[in-house]
């Protein structure tokens, strides 16, 4: 989902790969539920990829994560005298 919403964020792909790696390890250890979860994850990833593709083709701008700090509102700070 992060990859679809924030395509410019580099961490999104790393997190997806890590999730797949963890599920693959669980599957190799015989966890049958992990196999179902991986199939579900792949399905959801495809759905979000389709949403992102359609949004882009319709001219919608992707979301970006801002790393800038928000300015503080000095009017909310009251000094007692």
Residue 2: count of CB within 10 angstroms of its CB: 15
pTM of the shown model: 0.61
Query: pLDDT, tens digit, for every residue of 8-48?
Result: 665 667 888 888 999 999 999 999 999 999 999 999 989 98
- d(CA 52, CA 73) in angstroms, rounded, equals 35
User: Which of 47, 38, 43 has the alpha carbon at shortest distance from 17?
Assistant: 38
């890590």: which residue's tokens?
18
At residue 80, the 3 state secondary structure works out as coil
Closest CA to 20 of 38, 39, 2, 1: 38
């Amino acid at each position: 989902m992060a990859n679809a919403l924030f395509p410019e964020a580099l961490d999104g792909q790393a997190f997806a790969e890590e999730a797949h790696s963890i599920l693959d390890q669980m599957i190799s250890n015989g966890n049958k539920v992990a196999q179902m979860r991986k199939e579900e994850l792949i399905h959801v990833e495809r759905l979000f990829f389709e949403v992102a593709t359609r949004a882009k083709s319709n001219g919608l701008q992707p979301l970006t994560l801002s790393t800038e700090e928000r300015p503080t509102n000095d009017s909310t700070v009251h000094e007692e005298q």
